Amino acid sequence: MPNIHLRNHYQKAVVCMVLAYISIALMGVFVKYASDELPSSEILFSRFFIGFVFLLPFLIKDGDFKVDMSQWKFLVLRNLAGIASMLLTFYAIKYLPISIAILLMNTSALFVPLLLFFFKVRTPLKVLACSFMGFIGVSIIMLTNGSMNINPIHVGYALGAAVLAAMAFISLQELNKHNSPKNIVFYFHLLGSILLPLFFIAQWEIPTLHGFTLLLLVGGFGLIFQLLLTRAFKYAPANVITPFAFTGVIFSSICDWLFWDNVPSLNFWIGSLVIIIAVSLLARMRAK
């Protein structure tokens, strides 16, 4: 009976994970279309603001706005690195095929061991080997897609986003020890809603009805992704469901083909497979 219960939870986790990455692929589509009309910072603001509006009533209802300020360094790093990561991701989606942008975004797990090693945290050799294996996969994709006229600078946006996401993830692990996930996510959306207008509002434009609709879709699908991802991790541990994050590559590749006639090459899929194996091995090592 316990095995059946556990299997049902794993099935729910996988369903949530797959639906989450369908959502992120669709969000990428609307980000790319919105980028033709509006700055990336304005598009990202809609993503944060809609999440903030959704979460605010729950915190008011619970009356729980507290965060442990003894961890203020991790709180600052998680929020600033997370916001900058998402902004670079939106820039990458603007210029790259969605499939490549989302794939490179998911390489953040490969940077975590390297960052820990850089900060002189003891890191097993097999963990570092898996990270380098993942970067071989990235190289296979990027060095053999010359026909797609991919600008290295735009690849740099995506990889920079992955590095910052890894920094945010390391900070998040510490914050989760003393703070509720709901509060962490709320303050992330709140800070994003404040900082983006503060630094970028001078370049923003009043959206047309079409542009406003795209902003709502970006924010809506981004929120759906966040909720489904949270639910997936509730049902199953990271080592079980992390590989399913790469279903986003499949769905975004379908979107590239349907909307922009971009058909990924064989090398793209070979490199993707190498990255998926590397990230899956890292997830299993972290679980032990």
Output the pLDDT for position 148.
57
Q: 90, exposed or middle or buried, with CB in 10 Å at 0-12, 13-18, 19+? A: buried
How many CB atoms sit inside 10 A of residue 168's CB?
24
Output the pLDDT for position 6.
65
226 touches 181 (CB < 8 A): no
Q: Along the 288 residues of the chain, how does pLDDT read in single tens digits?
A: 456 666 677 788 888 888 988 999 999 999 999 999 999 999 999 999 999 998 889 888 877 677 666 777 878 888 899 999 999 999 999 999 898 888 888 888 788 888 877 776 777 888 888 888 888 988 887 776 554 567 788 889 999 999 998 888 888 777 777 777 777 888 889 999 999 999 999 999 999 999 999 999 999 998 888 888 877 877 777 666 767 777 888 889 889 899 988 887 888 888 888 988 888 888 777 655
Output the pLDDT for position 1.
47
How many CB atoms sit inside 10 A of residue 224's CB?
17
